[in-house]
Structure 1
Amino acid sequence: MATNSANPNSWRKNLAVLWFGTFMAGVGFSEIMPFLSLYVDSLGNFTHDELSLYSGLAFAASYFVTALASPLWGKLADRTGRKLMLVRASAGMAIVFILMGLVTNVWELIGLRLLQGVFSGYISNANALIATQVPKRKSGQALGTLVTGNVSGTLLGPLLGGTLASIFTYRVTFFITGFLFLIVFLITTFMVHEDFQPVLKSKMLNTKDVIGELSNAKLVFGMFVTTMIIQAANNSIVPILALYVRQIMHNSPATTFYSGIVAAVPGIATLFAAPLLGRLGDRLGTDKILIAGLILAMVVYVPMAFVTNVWQLIALRFLIGISNASMLPAVQAILAKNTPPHVTGRVFSWNQSFQAMGNVAGPMIGSVVSSEFDYAGVFISTALLVVVNLTMVYFNTRAMRKARV
């Protein structure tokens, strides 16, 4: 079973190394997104509808497989340790991204994107490893700090990817991304330390037994659904965000520039706010921070539907970044505080599956709503999603609030 390291402060070194690892993973995942559809277009002569279909398949494929594969990897992590899963994920990603640079047709690319989902799990296992090592009283701070690695990498990635693709080619950018994951593989292999006593396969808990180990299974599964809705809400506006910016800027030539700012601003806010809110949650109650974040999101999404200039949208998106900083890290902290160490890998992998389902559902919701109504309707529907989430979280965390009284 998993144990804390003999050195009570070793989690700090692991946190620093895994912060860098999740940063590089964030860069690697996000730097290909600005040109993925263009890369698809370069692989054949497609009609507009075919290009939209193949680009959508290439985008969603990895998330779909991640949702299916994560529980299997989580079960293996609880038997073999989180570090091995980190090494497995980083090595697999390095190979997959290099192969993406060698494809000759769109189906090879989609197939490799499916394989990318199989090799998922670096970030979820990084969270699980830190969650099992950090003292419970500091889990909010530690997990809030760790999430800034992925967020900052995701912010830098599109800029780096666009620059590399313009200087070199799409294929070379995939090779560079593969090299980044090779670096992650090396630092994880040689610098991450985990004391772990392997669990015999015959003694592995099945799903029913894992649920039985949870002191508050209802709360844990409620957090899974909360994660899914958070991701769906965040991603529901992705398909229409640049189009919305173009609309409120009246087709200005500067639309592309400001679309980049609008897309990046939430991540910048999250980067600075997450560690602070994590520490505040450890002091006041993580559930309070989560509820406050959901209330802020609900209040902010509605006026986004009625902005009249891009600066109003940028300001509101900054507030959404603060809301995001309070939500997913808070969910992870609640999971860490309510999960025994020997099933943490399984629980965090289940959470990643729900997160992936939200990544798939969000853009679909946004696309359907925008086609049936208008861009403003997407923000209203997203606010309604947050209201549903807030109601669920309020009732699911009621026991936590009673315990503090």
Structure 2
Amino acid sequence: MKMWKKNLIVCWFGIFVASIGMSQIAPVLPLYIQHLGVQDTASITKLSGIAFGITFIVSAIFSPIWGSAADKYGRKPMILRASLGMAITIGCMGFAPNVYVLIGLRLLQGAITGYTTACTALIATQTDKENAGYALGTLSTANIAGSLLGPTIGGFIDEIFGLQSVFFITGTLLLISFITTVLFVKEDFTRKNKKVLSIKEIWDSVPEKNLTITMFITFFVLSIALYSVEPIITVYVRQLSNNSRHVALLAGVTFSASGLANIVAAPKLGKLSDKIGAHKVILVCLIGAGIIFIPQAFVRSIWQLMGLRFLLGIASAGLNPSVNIILKKITPASLTGRVFGFNMTAGYLGIFGGSLLGGQVAGYFGMRYVFFITSAFLLINAIWVYFNVYRKL
């Protein structure tokens, strides 16, 4: 087996687990905060929002920093640092004595991030052009699927083993990822740029600035779209379902349906990008995702919503790998880690922004408008991609 294929398998597993670790806390967080001694409902809601969002905000700050370190010292050391650091941090959350220690550990988890950035840069720089779309498409399923399946997995672990087990099991899986990286990931790294570049110098070295910005914003909009329903999904499912006993589980499965579709479709759409061009795939998928959001506002049953979320996962599966393929093609190898780091920052900001947007829009205008506004974001982005990417490439 070729080296890049072995590395792809190990990195896929690690990113999947790391993404679960970032998102699995969502359904159990209010319950765990209550377990830690907070009883007031309003306080639980506020502290849950802080504890969930702080990881992604801090990750947005640190992701470019770790991307730069990957270009300086190699991608494998950054993978090892992030996997071991997150294994310890998430495991310690199960021993948190109070909510403030929990929030501090969530903050530390965000600062330790960089696993996905390092893995993406490693695979992007090692894979030949003929297989880049397939490799990056496969890798993208780990990140998106882990993030979207995380809430369901966290809910299942809580129901079967208990609240604290969510953190212990995730930490153990990340430790396994660390060990497999030590044993199986190979990297022939030679630092190509000895000089430490400032952000301005890095940006000045990027040859296709307009195209790069378009890709960052596309990834940002995709993250907003995938997470805009996160704050409302449980309430929406309760309205659609008569089975109130399992609302949390049904909400988790509904939210995760797009993650399952992503796992199935992303490698195939990545291969398609290699054949016909990523710029074509990204345009069609943006339009498709934008259209699929509209009927979600008019569903009459939970199964209709699940089906549309599954279709959304297929459409979004072509976006993440296409963004990575285009960034790989237009970015010098010496800057790959840093550019992917900036792209991950856009994604983390999109996750936080999507959750915030969904809650605010639903609160002021109603839940249906969350789907309408998200659709508008995607379709406007599709128009911009048509003029800035499709016509240019």
- The TM tier, using the shorter chain, reads over 0.9
CA contact (8 A) 2:10 2:177 kept: no
The amino acid of 1:297's aligned partner reads: A
Deviates more, 1:158-167 or 1:212-221: 158-167
The amino acid of 1:73's aligned partner reads: W
Cα distance in 1 for partners of 2:305, 2:14 equals 32
Gap regions ≥5 residues in structure 2: none
Match of 2:220 among 225, 228, 231: 228
Give the equivalent residue in structure 2 for 1:34. Answer: 27
SS in 2 for 1:87: helix
Equivalenced residue count is 393
Match of 1:278 among 270, 276, 280: 270
CA contact (8 A) 1:287 1:400 kept: no
CA contact (8 A) 1:43 1:104 kept: yes
Q: 5 Å matches for 1:193-342?
A: 193-198=186-191, 203-249=195-241, 253=245, 255-342=247-334
Give the equivalent residue in structure 1 for 2:48. Answer: 55
Q: Give the drift of 1:243.
A: 1.1
Distance 1:199 1:80, change over 3 A: farther
Q: Give the drift of 1:40.
A: 1.0
Distance 1:357 1:33, change over 3 A: same
Match of 1:388 among 372, 376, 380: 380
CA contact (8 A) 1:236 1:382 kept: yes
Q: Confirm whether residue 77 of structure 1 aligns to residue 77 of structure 2.
A: no
CA contact (8 A) 1:70 1:349 kept: yes
Cα distance in 2 for partners of 1:28, 1:238 equals 17
Cα distance in 2 for partners of 1:123, 1:321 equals 20
CA contact (8 A) 2:66 2:114 kept: yes
Q: Give the drift of 1:339.
A: 0.9
Q: Give the drift of 1:233.
A: 1.5
CA contact (8 A) 2:149 2:259 kept: no
Q: Give the drift of 1:220.
A: 0.8
Cα distance in 2 for partners of 1:221, 1:47 equals 44
Identity %: 43
The amino acid of 1:387's aligned partner reads: L
Distance 1:90 1:163, change over 3 A: same
Cα distance in 1 for partners of 2:251, 2:39 equals 27
Q: Confirm whether residue 367 of structure 1 aligns to residue 359 of structure 2.
A: yes
Aligned Cα RMSD in Å? 2.0
Once the two structures are superposed, residues 100-131 of structure 1 have per-residue CA deviations (whole angstroms, 9 ceiling, x without a partner) of 11211111111110000011111121111101
Q: TM-score, normalised by structure 2?
A: 0.94
Q: Confirm whether residue 181 of structure 1 aligns to residue 174 of structure 2.
A: yes
Q: 5 Å matches for 1:134-153?
A: 134-153=127-146
Q: 5 Å matches for 1:38-187?
A: 38-154=31-147, 157-187=150-180
Cα distance in 1 for partners of 2:308, 2:204 equals 42
Q: Give the drift of 1:252.
A: 5.1
Give the equivalent residue in structure 2 for 1:356. Answer: 348
Once the two structures are superposed, residues 23-51 of structure 1 have per-residue CA deviations (whole angstroms, 9 ceiling, x without a partner) of 33234334433212211111123311111
Gap regions ≥5 residues in structure 1: 1-6
The amino acid of 1:348's aligned partner reads: F
SS in 1 for 2:37: coil
Q: Give the drift of 1:152.
A: 4.6
The amino acid of 2:231's aligned partner reads: P
Cα distance in 2 for partners of 1:253, 1:166 equals 13
